[in-house]
Amino acid sequence: MSNAWARGARSFRPGAYTGTVPQRSPDAMLAPTPTARLLAWLDALNAALAAGDAQAVAGKFQPDGFWRDFVALTWNLTTQQGRGPIAAMLQATLPQAGPKNFRVEGEASETADGTIEAFLRFETPAGLGWGHVRLRDGLAHTLLTTLDALAGHEEARGPTRPRGVEHGVHRGRKTWAELRAEQEATLGITEEPYVVIVGGGQGGIALGARLRRLGVKALILEKLPRPGDTWRRRYRSLVLHDPVWYDHMPYLPFPEHWPVFTPKDQIGDWLEAYVRLMEIPFWGDTEVLSARHDEATGEWTVKATRNGAPMTLRPKHLVLATGMSGMPNRPVFPGQEVFQGTQRHSSEHEGPGDRGPEG
């Protein structure tokens, strides 16, 4: 009996439930639980991975199944559909990436259409992985693998968080506020950032938070004055289009009393507070004008203006987080030149009642 079936047997307790619980047929009661069925699939997956057999791993998927990988195997964001493309991805990556020890986090659940789904944990030589699987008819319909932490560079949190106190007498001891002020006075001024992030919208800010927790010296350059200004500048009646539980930033979830659809100025204030609480180095009023990479030095030369004054930074890495809708697309329509009404891009619309600059 494999581990999977043994675990399934332990979770089946005949006679444990009575009364108003809906009656299940004896066959259904004897059927292995969703977790047990998933564990059987994971046992087979782990065995195929351990053997380095890409075809056998691909055979654990439905013929049109998907494997979506975020960095864990491919160091890229990629989706493969079908056993052939999945096997090809594995042949290229298994020798170095070697994911192993896939296991269930918590319990698997089963939807009305018989899909079994669960979150997963696994390991690669590079770090710890986290993922999600959906099984249909005993084969993977979708598998997501993401790299959650780099081995040896795990974020200090929970039991490994810093102590925050230094007992004893230390000459020249600095407080948290003094250290923060020192970092703000040096990073980007007397000390080059290791990473420059262009754009302080929610993408740039989320990355800034992650890099800060990893101890990477990163600096965000944002052309607008304050974090959250991209949201504040949008039309008056805007609320987020997704419910609040889809919109969390890393580490700090929104409070539970927040409206389901968060108003745009509230999200702007949240981003500003988030930058402060997460101690993210952020320069507003800083517009990046150009960036050039020098292969010889392995450095970028980033030219920008800060509060109108020209400046140059030389980081090792450059991230463009300027958003995909930052540049208005202004199509030209026939008859536009004779149209008498207001014409403007949606980013300039202030909301209901706004009749444009002509009133």
Ligand X SMILES: Cc1cc2nc3c(=O)[nH]c(=O)nc-3n(C[C@H](O)[C@H](O)[C@H](O)COP(=O)(O)OP(=O)(O)OC[C@H]3O[C@@H](n4cnc5c(N)ncnc54)[C@H](O)[C@@H]3O)c2cc1C
Contacting positions for ligand X (CB under 6 A): 198-204, 221-224, 230, 238, 240-242, 247, 287-288, 321-323, 326
Instruction: Select 225 or 356, whichever has its Cβ closest to ligand X.
Output: 225
* Minimum distance of ligand X from residue 132's CB (angstroms): 19
Is residue 162 exposed (0-12), middle (13-18) or buried (19+ Cβ within 10 Å)? exposed
Instruction: Select 105 or 242, whichever has its Cβ closest to ligand X.
Output: 242
* Minimum distance of ligand X from residue 315's CB (angstroms): 14
Residue 348's CB is within 10 A of a number of other CB atoms, namely 14
Contact 32, 107 (CB under 8 A): no
* Minimum distance of ligand X from residue 273's CB (angstroms): 16
Instruction: Select 180 or 345, whichever has its Cβ closest to ligand X.
Output: 345
Pick the closest to residue 224 from 271, 192, 188, 182 (CA basis). Answer: 271
In angstroms, the CA 200 to CA 137 distance is: 45
Residue 223's CB is within 10 A of a number of other CB atoms, namely 19
* Minimum distance of ligand X from residue 203's CB (angstroms): 3
Instruction: Select 174 or 236, whichever has its Cβ closest to ligand X.
Output: 236
Instruction: Select 213 or 306, whichever has its Cβ closest to ligand X.
Output: 306
Q: Which residue's beta carbon is nearest to the bound ligand X?
A: 201
* Minimum distance of ligand X from residue 331's CB (angstroms): 17
Pick the closest to residue 201 from 229, 173, 167 (CA basis). Answer: 229
Contact 283, 268 (CB under 8 A): no
Tokens encoding 184: 């703000």
